[in-house]
Structure 1
Amino acid sequence: MKDAQPRAIYLKDYQQPDYWIDTTALTFELGEESTLVTSTLNFHLNESKTHDSLPPLPLHGTDMELVSVAIDGEVIPADQYQVDKHQLMLQPKSDAFETTIVTRIKPQENTSLEGLYRSSSMYCTQCEAEGFRKITYYLDRPDVMSVFTTTVIADKEKYPVLLSNGNAIKRQELDNGRHMVTWNDPFKKPAYLFALVAGNLEFIEDSFTTMSGREVNLKIFTEAHNITKCDHAMRSLKKAMKWDEEVYGREYDLDMFMIVAVDDFNMGAMENKGLNIFNSSAVLARPDTATDAAFQRIEAVVAHEYFHNWSGNRVTCRDWFQLSLKEGFTVFRDAEFSADMNSRTVKRVEDVNLLRSHQFVEDAGPMAHPIRPDSFIEINNFYTLTIYEKGAEVVRMIHNIVGKEGFRKGSDLYFERHDGQAVTTENFVSAMEDANGVDLTQFQRWYNQAGTPVLDVSDAYDEEKQEYSLTIKQSCPATPGQNTKLPFHIPVEIGLLDGEGEPMPVTPDGKTTTVLDLKDEEQTFVFAGMDERPLPSLLRGFSAPVRLNYDYSREDLVFLMSNDEDGFNRWDSCQRLAIDVLMELVSAIQEGKELVVDTSLINAYGQLLADESLDKAMVAEMLNLPSETYLAEQMDVIDVDAIHQAREFVKQQIAAGLKDQLVDTYKKLRTDKPYQPEAADIAERSLKNTCMAYLTELDDVVGVDLAKAQYESATNMTDTMAAMGCLINASHESAAPAAKMVLAEFAEKWADDNNVMDMWFSSQAGSASTKLETVKALMEHPSYDKKNPNKMRAVVSAFCVRNLVNFHDLSGSGYEFLTDEVIRVDALNPQMAARLINPLTRWKRYDEARKELMQKALKRIQKHELSADIFEVVSKSLA
Structure 2
Amino acid sequence: AMENKGLNIFNTKYVLADSRTATDADFAAVESVIAHEYFHNWTGNRVTCRDWFQLSLKEGLTVFRDQEFSADRISHATCRIENVAMLRALQFPEDAGPTAHPVRPASYEEMNNFYTMTVYEKGAEVVRMYHTLLGEAGFQKGMKLYFERHDGQAVTCDDFRAAMADANGINLDRFALWYSQAGTPVLDVKGRLNGSGGYELTVKQTVPPTPDMAEKQPMTMPLKVALFDAENGRQIAFRRPGSSEEITETVLLLTEAEQTFTLENVRQNAVPSLLRGFSAPVHLNYPYTDAELAVLLAADTDPFARWEAGQTLYRRAIAANETALAQGLPLPEHQGLLEAVEYVLAADDVDAEFQAMLLAVPAEAELWAERSDIDPLQVHRAREALLDLIARRFQAQFLALNQKAAHAEQQADPAIRYEYSPETAGWRTLRNTCRAFVLRADPEHIDTVAEKYAEMAQNMTHEWGILSAINHNESGKRNELLEQFAEKFRDDALVMDKYFALIASSRRTDTPAQVQAALNHPAFSLENPNKARSLLGAFSRNVPHFHAESGAGYAFIADKVMEIDHFNPQVASRLVQAFNLCNKLEPHRKSLMQAQLQRIQAQSGLSKDVAEIVGKILA
The correspondence for 2:456, drawn from 690, 707, 713, is 713
Aligned to 2:390: 654
Give 1:780's aligned amino acid: N
Structure 1 residue runs of 4 or more that deviate by more than 4 Å after TM superposition: none
Pairwise CA distance, 1:709 = 2.5
Does the 8 Å CA contact 1:711/1:723 hold for their aligned counterparts? no
1:519/1:412 CA distance change after superposition, 3 Å:
same
Q: Does 1:622 align with 2:358?
A: yes
Give 2:216's aligned amino acid: K
SS of structure 2 residue aligned to 1:837: helix
Q: Does 1:420 align with 2:167?
A: no
Greater Rg, structure 1 or structure 2?
Answer: 1
Q: Does 1:815 align with 2:547?
A: no
Give 1:416's aligned amino acid: E
Aligned to 1:682: 425
Aligned to 2:299: 563
The correspondence for 1:872, drawn from 605, 612, 618, is 612
CA distance in 2, matches of 1:675, 1:707: 21
Task: Give the CA RMSD over aligned residues.
Answer: 1.4
Q: Does 1:800 align with 2:531?
A: no
CA distance in 2, matches of 1:623, 1:704: 25
The correspondence for 1:442, drawn from 166, 174, 178, is 174
Aligned to 1:392: 124
Give 1:486's aligned amino acid: Q
CA distance in 2, matches of 1:481, 1:715: 51
CA distance in 1, matches of 2:79, 2:511: 33
Aligned to 1:776: 516
Pairwise CA distance, 1:712 = 4.2
Moved more, 863-872 or 745-754: 863-872
CA distance in 2, matches of 1:597, 1:305: 49
Where structure 1 has 5 or more consecutive residues not aligned to the other structure, the ranges are 1-141, 143-189, 194-271
- How does the TM-score come out when normalised to structure 2? 0.96
1:409-558 matches, within 5 Å, as 409-463=141-195, 465-498=196-229, 499-507=231-239, 508-558=244-294
- How does the TM-score come out when normalised to structure 1? 0.68
Aligned to 2:468: 725
Does the 8 Å CA contact 2:372/2:586 hold for their aligned counterparts? no
Aligned to 1:832: 571
1:567/1:388 CA distance change after superposition, 3 Å:
same
1:741/1:456 CA distance change after superposition, 3 Å:
same
1:798/1:458 CA distance change after superposition, 3 Å:
same
CA distance in 2, matches of 1:309, 1:737: 51
CA distance in 1, matches of 2:191, 2:17: 51
Give 1:722's aligned amino acid: G
Q: Any idea what the Cα deviations from partners look like across 1:302-324, whole Å, max 9, x if unmatched? A: 10010001101111111000000
CA distance in 2, matches of 1:596, 1:706: 32
CA distance in 1, matches of 2:61, 2:433: 33
CA distance in 2, matches of 1:317, 1:457: 38
Q: Any idea what the Cα deviations from partners look like across 1:670-721, whole Å, max 9, x if unmatched? A: 1445213111111111111111100100235446525752554321000011
1:3-14 matches, within 5 Å, as none
Aligned to 2:374: 638
1:446/1:700 CA distance change after superposition, 3 Å:
closer
CA distance in 2, matches of 1:421, 1:634: 41
Q: Does 1:593 align with 2:329?
A: yes
CA distance in 2, matches of 1:339, 1:586: 36
SS of structure 1 residue aligned to 2:204: strand
1:704/1:531 CA distance change after superposition, 3 Å:
farther
Give 2:17's aligned amino acid: A
Aligned to 2:582: 843
State the aligned residue count: 605
Does the 8 Å CA contact 2:503/2:511 hold for their aligned counterparts? no
Aligned to 1:88: none
CA distance in 1, matches of 2:454, 2:202: 53
SS of structure 1 residue aligned to 2:171: coil
Aligned to 1:118: none
1:781/1:831 CA distance change after superposition, 3 Å:
same
- Bigger strand share: 1
Give 2:219's aligned amino acid: F
SS of structure 1 residue aligned to 2:146: helix
SS of structure 1 residue aligned to 2:277: helix
CA distance in 2, matches of 1:655, 1:870: 42
CA distance in 2, matches of 1:794, 1:273: 31
Aligned to 2:595: 856
Aligned to 2:343: 607
Give 2:433's aligned amino acid: T
CA distance in 1, matches of 2:447, 2:267: 54
Does the 8 Å CA contact 2:7/2:37 hold for their aligned counterparts? no
1:232-311 matches, within 5 Å, as 272-311=4-43
CA distance in 2, matches of 1:548, 1:393: 16
Pairwise CA distance, 1:506 = 3.1
Give 1:789's aligned amino acid: P
State the percentage of identical aligned residues. 45
Pairwise CA distance, 1:488 = 0.4
Does the 8 Å CA contact 2:199/2:263 hold for their aligned counterparts? yes
Give 1:777's aligned amino acid: A
- Bigger helix share: 2
Give 1:841's aligned amino acid: N
Q: Any idea what the Cα deviations from partners look like across 1:181-209, whole Å, max 9, x if unmatched? A: xxxxxxxxx5xx5xxxxxxxxxxxxxxxx
Q: Does 1:337 align with 2:69?
A: yes
1:780/1:432 CA distance change after superposition, 3 Å:
same
Where structure 2 has 5 or more consecutive residues not aligned to the other structure, the ranges are none
| Relative contact order higher in (CA < 8 Å, ≥ 6 apart) | 2
CA distance in 2, matches of 1:485, 1:608: 41
CA distance in 2, matches of 1:403, 1:784: 49
1:277/1:355 CA distance change after superposition, 3 Å:
closer
Pairwise CA distance, 1:613 = 2.5
SS of structure 2 residue aligned to 1:617: helix
